[in-house]
Structure 1
Amino acid sequence: MEENQQFEHRPTRYKKRRLRKGRVFFLLLFIFAIGIGVYAVMQYRSGLELASKTKHPEESFVADEPTEMVSNYLIVGVDSRGEEQSRSDTMMLLSWNSVTDEMKLVSFMRDIYADIPEYQSYKLNTAYYLGGVQLLKDTISTMFDVPIHHYVLIDFKSFESLIDIMAPNGIEMDVEKDMSEHIGVSLTKGVQNLNGKELLGYARFRHDENGDFGRVERQQKVIDALKNELISPRNIKNLPKLIGAAQGYITTDLSTSDEIKTVLSVAASGSVEIEKLTIPAKGTYSFADYSHAGSVIEIDKQTNTQILHEFLK
């Protein structure tokens, strides 16, 4: 009789042990999740504090009517050097389809002879100098009949800092030639890891036979490298601090929640290829010189608009 009672109790004791182990496992999992959350919040606040004194004032911006799947972001890079007004050194349109995760990047040459609303024609980068992001947005959207839904403005000094947060060990780039003229750093030919200052210098170099066209190609290479770095699993731990610092280093019409959602969506999507286009397209432009604007690129506006629309679909 006693043997039967012992036999009946064994499954019960075994079940209790399993329950205890399950509880311990979930308790450890909960503590681990809390630890990750605390770390993320601390890193986010660290990023905020780091960039708290560098915030550019938000600019007036009237977005075009939003679409259901595709958002177009105007990316503007400026070298303010403490000045209130500066020309835009980098002008890109990033088109992101949030459903298919397709990304398309259009680079606009800064010397395009552009029809600036309410002003006479100047180089495209003069639009930002005359009227900030809104006038640059109006110039591009009117000239090429393309909607723009958001803007992202970053100063070059802030760019350097963000790169060093995102990738403390540098970002791997294949430097195609020795570079040093007017970029503040000396780069040697070959594959190497570049810190923020070096990567910015690489993206800005234009003192060779390719001039601004070569620089735009390098800027597109840099964007590709940044995208790969952002979605790399080894850099997940850097995302909270990066998002926090972006609040001060980047000026945008997006809210904090929108920024976080966008970054996490891109990071979670895995490998995302970016298709690239440069405006003006090959064979659709000529060079000219005007007393009020200097050396400019005159483009076949109709052909370039058609090429842009076909690219963006």
Structure 2
Amino acid sequence: MDNKQMRADRHKKKKKKRWPSILLVCLLLLGGVTGYAYYQYKQGVNQSLKKLNNDKKDTNVVYDFSGQKDQYGDTNVLLLGSDARGNEKSRSDTIMILHYNENKGTFKLTSIMRDSYVSIPGHAKHKINSAFARGGPELMRQTIKQNFDIDLQYYAIVDFQGFAQLIDELFPNGVEMNVEKKMSANVNPPLEPGQQKLNGPQMLSYVRFRHDAIGDFGRVERQQKAIKAIKDQLSGLKTVAKLPKLIGVVTPYINTNMPTTDGVFMAKEFLTGDQNIETLRIPIDNSFTEPRISGEGAVLEIDVEKNKQALHQFITQ
């Protein structure tokens, strides 16, 4: 065997010895990252548990939910804002659908106004927000499917206080917002008009205020405006690094059937995506009247077919 062949053999042996070392280093790094992420997650959970009111039990309720991807192969998440107090039934005054197209990496948001007067399976016609009190997220899913022909794969019931906690964790210095008017009726803390940075409780006041001339229409508009502002002001990489703790912070305030892996993936896509989030409101303009119904009060009598077409066009465009 010549010297050249001997050198080649020694080089091969060194490469064979090197691979186990590299693999070991990679495994140690992966273990360290996983351990740190879990530590951050637990820190977030414990932080919220210290502040969580003992009378808020909704996150412990186990709901049935027969969800699936929609006919376009996309994922839709039913987002419900809950404000249960004590032994009251939870009220879903905020009803949204988060649409996620994995191929395009895009998110869209549809808000359904709570007073929309629709057919609820097994319960005749009522305001849509009563579907949750009558049958939980599954009946709300069935109601949306029956009226708008769209499937929902997951649900997430978010306690309003969890929203405030998340804002304070994401934005220690507040979210830059233009508060368009004084907001004081039935919200605490009250807000003064003008460009300013809002902390968690202030943002909660902003998205919940509805005691003015345009009522719930204004509230839905502000909710969508707030979500856009949050998305626009997030700093991608720094926020992703905080993702385990952020998930921990909101976990005690959320009841969801979404697997943690899917939730982390979608959260990362949402936080790092550079596209603006598009929004839709149901009912759309010129598709409803506002009669008073005995036993229901003022409702939004909607043109179901017109709104169904608008929703599907919005999702697929």
The question of a shared fold, defined as TM-score above 0.5 by the shorter chain, is answered with yes
Where does residue 50 of structure 1 map in the other structure? 47
CA distance in 2, matches of 1:177, 1:32: 51
Question: Could you tell me whether the CA contact under 8 Å between 1:162 and 1:249 is conserved in 2?
Answer: no
Q: Does 1:64 align with 2:68?
A: yes
CA distance in 1, matches of 2:245, 2:114: 32
Where does residue 195 of structure 2 map in the other structure? 191
Alpha-carbon distance, 1:39 to partner: 4.4
Where does residue 266 of structure 2 map in the other structure? 262
Question: Could you tell me whether the CA contact under 8 Å between 2:80 and 2:157 is conserved in 1?
Answer: yes
Alpha-carbon distance, 1:51 to partner: 3.8
Q: Does 1:142 align with 2:146?
A: yes
The code of the aligned residue for 1:206 comes to R
How large is the RMSD of aligned CA atoms in angstroms?
2.4
Select 1:301's aligned residue among 292, 304, 307: 304
The code of the aligned residue for 1:218 comes to R
The code of the aligned residue for 2:143 comes to T
Identify which range, 185-194 or 37-46, moves more after superposition: 37-46
Alpha-carbon distance, 1:85 to partner: 0.9
Question: Could you tell me whether the CA contact under 8 Å between 2:165 and 2:250 is conserved in 1?
Answer: no
Q: Does 1:207 align with 2:218?
A: no
CA distance in 1, matches of 2:304, 2:160: 30
The code of the aligned residue for 1:298 comes to E
Q: What secondary structure, in the 3-state scheme, does the structure 1 residue paired with 2:242 have?
A: helix
Alpha-carbon distance, 1:30 to partner: 11
The code of the aligned residue for 1:199 comes to M
Pairing 1:50-129 to 2, within 5 Å after superposition: 50-52=47-49, 55-65=59-69, 69-129=73-133
The code of the aligned residue for 1:135 comes to L
Alpha-carbon distance, 1:303 to partner: 1.0
State the identity %.
Answer: 40
Alpha-carbon distance, 1:69 to partner: 4.7
Any unmatched runs of 5+ in structure 2?
Answer: 1-25
CA distance in 2, matches of 1:278, 1:77: 16
Alpha-carbon distance, 1:56 to partner: 3.6
Alpha-carbon distance, 1:142 to partner: 0.8
Q: What secondary structure, in the 3-state scheme, does the structure 2 residue paired with 1:206 have?
A: coil
The code of the aligned residue for 2:294 comes to S
Q: Does 1:287 align with 2:290?
A: yes
Alpha-carbon distance, 1:309 to partner: 1.3
Question: Could you tell me whether the CA contact under 8 Å between 1:167 and 1:235 is conserved in 2?
Answer: no
The code of the aligned residue for 1:70 comes to D
Alpha-carbon distance, 1:84 to partner: 4.3
Select 1:278's aligned residue among 267, 281, 289: 281
CA distance in 2, matches of 1:287, 1:68: 33
| Alignment deviations for residues 141-171 of structure 1 (CA, whole Å, 9 cap, x no partner) | 1111111111111011222122222222221
The code of the aligned residue for 2:250 comes to A
Question: Could you tell me whether the CA contact under 8 Å between 2:97 and 2:109 is conserved in 1?
Answer: yes
Select 1:133's aligned residue among 113, 128, 137: 137
Alpha-carbon distance, 1:91 to partner: 0.3
Cα distance change on mapping 1:37 and 1:145 into 2, 3 Å = closer
Where does residue 232 of structure 2 map in the other structure? 228
Query: Computing the radius of gyration over CA atoms, which structure comes out larger, 1 or 2?
Result: 1
Select 1:174's aligned residue among 151, 175, 178: 178
Select 2:252's aligned residue among 248, 251, 262: 248
Where does residue 40 of structure 1 map in the other structure? 37
Alpha-carbon distance, 1:108 to partner: 0.5
Cα distance change on mapping 1:202 and 1:121 into 2, 3 Å = same
Aligned residues: 285
Q: What secondary structure, in the 3-state scheme, does the structure 1 residue paired with 2:251 have?
A: helix
Cα distance change on mapping 1:171 and 1:106 into 2, 3 Å = same
Alpha-carbon distance, 1:61 to partner: 0.7
CA distance in 2, matches of 1:209, 1:119: 31
CA distance in 2, matches of 1:244, 1:275: 27
Cα distance change on mapping 1:136 and 1:31 into 2, 3 Å = closer
Cα distance change on mapping 1:58 and 1:166 into 2, 3 Å = farther
Q: What secondary structure, in the 3-state scheme, does the structure 1 residue paired with 2:61 have?
A: coil
Alpha-carbon distance, 1:185 to partner: 1.3
CA distance in 1, matches of 2:62, 2:162: 15
| Alignment deviations for residues 195-217 of structure 1 (CA, whole Å, 9 cap, x no partner) | 11110110011112221111100
Question: Could you tell me whether the CA contact under 8 Å between 2:113 and 2:282 is conserved in 1?
Answer: yes
Any unmatched runs of 5+ in structure 1?
Answer: 1-28
TM-score scaled to structure 2, two decimals?
Answer: 0.82
Alpha-carbon distance, 1:86 to partner: 2.2
Alpha-carbon distance, 1:183 to partner: 1.1
